[in-house]
Structure 1
């Protein structure tokens, strides 16, 4: 059983000097739970026991964004869902073996990753460690488990890279990544093919596009745009060659979350599948900012700049017909409604943000 979305994302860019550790930044388990570091077969946790891997640097990164994560609020959500969180590294093979020895997992949802295209230029090894080695570690323990679980893992729309054929379809070429992050996710899809072919693992990769909403990643543009608009800090909006618009295919977190669970359903023997989870209507980043201005009732200080050569792409656009047909995926939340939910949550979760209007500093950048 996957945990509800957490307030700290595994992909938040660490501040200067911090290095991802692959350890969990989650709250400790309830006092009544078995110790996280020493699971034993004599005291099996509930079936919703969830090992997770979130870099500790994520917490520091979130703090550097001018926010304080409420451990108590996150823990309350987990407690209500009956989820037991184990702090650990997905590359810790003995720990993973112990977890599978204690609990006969039927499904694995592997969402831990080092995400974001730009940080890869600063700390490339963290992407290989988390996205390549981490996936292999999970598949290694899953291949020999009894029962053998269905595995759902987070691929990315970034695998489409420099593909110019739109909308992006699962059958399109994905051999021209634009960033190291994209390359590690492409490598993950090839690794999944090997484990399906040799060991018969049922593996589903979900190519998430720009997922947004409450409890989202603090390093995402809509998130730090909101923060900086409230503080009257300048935001940078990228534009492509010849003033071309930069656009993103956005997927509301509640819509994407439902289909993440659906991806674990087995159909036939040992399927190997990938699905796009996005939307059918890309949104210009400038339009996203306009909606945030309306919801926050604050005018953004905009700086329009040329898109740097840092691994970002000018546009994303998903063909979601396969996910609609096989997963029942229907992105029913429109952008205005989704951002309204996010803004309401943000103002409740970070109540001090709105009181910092007028503070000045470096501008945030877009994607």
Structure 2
């Protein structure tokens, strides 16, 4: 099959592309390799993918309509789109909200318009986020919950993308599956995320910042489990024409437990500074993954302690290279 993977130089896009290429698929990758975090890391991911003959890379932005038109002309046989490109980061959306509307909203529209021009397209899978649950207090978060109280511009941009995708399904019949990811971590991960920042700080004997609160916790989801979830949806023969799934570990882990796992694997104690949690950050996340389990039989397998060990083993090889 022929796949288009946007954000191929990103964390999830890279790992998914590797898995598809290992299966003998053709992957058309697109990424603008921006400097929100280390372009060197993004380039290193792409360099790995380029070692496969089945990988074709376009250095372009998904909002560049002319670049997307070239891809349509060159690859009209694209059958599946994984739109994983995004402007990530909750707190950065306070500093640069325009970037989130441009990439996560305008980019979603551009990919949807592109999809309409592909004669062999079967389905679009697109990245959303657990952040869309916003100020909801009920745990675990379920796909049936209301998502109309976002706590950040990032969350609002992701919810906007979901609404646009449903609209294009309704208007044009584009089959689509939304993916609400819950705190994905692992080797080759994003250096702006807490687990990565904590690990580097502990390694370098620098302080880390934790937020105060009794229930500061996350549903940490290991990258290999995420890829398995995406492949299970891809292989499912009875997906609804439109739907949204939580992709999480379905375990609520205190952030302090994450720090303990990092300390154990790095062999150093963390220097911790506590501050009040900002309003953009959700206090706790936990995924209800019964929907994807009922449809595909997928469930995560990686415990946080095992995932952190695999991540820190990778970091020991590359620490300082990408930052």
Contact 1:10 1:112 in 2 (8 A): no
Note the C-alpha offset of 1:306: 1.4
Deviation beyond 6 Å, 4+ runs, structure 1: 2-7
1:113 aligns with 2:89: no
Tell me what 1:95 maps to: 67
1:304 aligns with 2:247: no
Contact 1:8 1:62 in 2 (8 A): no
Structure 2 SS opposite 1:84: strand
Distance 1:344 1:85, change over 3 A: same
Tell me what 1:327 maps to: 296
Note the C-alpha offset of 1:48: 2.1
Note the C-alpha offset of 1:99: 1.1
Contact 2:124 2:174 in 1 (8 A): yes
Distance 1:92 1:6, change over 3 A: closer
| Residue 146 (structure 1) aligned to one of 119, 134, 148 | 119
Larger radius of gyration: 1
Tell me what 1:346 maps to: 315
Structure 2 SS opposite 1:69: helix
Alignment of 1:12-161 (within 5 A): 48-58=26-36, 61-62=37-38, 69=41, 71=43, 74-80=46-52, 82-103=54-75, 104-161=77-134
Contact 1:276 1:323 in 2 (8 A): yes
Note the C-alpha offset of 1:69: 3.4
Alignment of 1:129-278 (within 5 A): 129-240=102-213, 244-265=214-235, 267=237, 271-278=241-248
CA distance in structure 2 between the partners assigned to 1:183 and 1:56 by the alignment: 22
Structure 2 SS opposite 1:153: strand
Note the C-alpha offset of 1:7: 6.9
* Stretches of structure 1 lacking an aligned partner (at least 5 in a row): 12-45, 354-367
Structure 1 SS opposite 2:312: helix
Note the C-alpha offset of 1:266: 6.5
Structure 1 SS opposite 2:99: helix
Structure 2 SS opposite 1:317: coil
Structure 2 SS opposite 1:56: coil
CA distance in structure 1 between the partners assigned to 2:96 and 2:271 by the alignment: 31
Question: If each structure's helix is expressed as a fraction of its own residues, which one has the higher value?
Answer: 2
Contact 1:204 1:264 in 2 (8 A): no
> What is the count of residue pairs matched by the alignment?
309
CA distance in structure 1 between the partners assigned to 2:191 and 2:321 by the alignment: 16
Distance 1:4 1:173, change over 3 A: closer
Structure 2 SS opposite 1:215: coil
| Residue 252 (structure 2) aligned to one of 282, 286, 289 | 282
Note the C-alpha offset of 1:81: 6.8
Normalised to the residue count of structure 1, the TM-score between the two structures is 0.78
Normalised to the residue count of structure 2, the TM-score between the two structures is 0.88
Distance 1:110 1:121, change over 3 A: same
CA distance in structure 1 between the partners assigned to 2:200 and 2:187 by the alignment: 14
CA distance in structure 2 between the partners assigned to 1:93 and 1:6 by the alignment: 18
Structure 1 SS opposite 2:286: coil
* Stretches of structure 2 lacking an aligned partner (at least 5 in a row): 14-23
Note the C-alpha offset of 1:160: 0.4
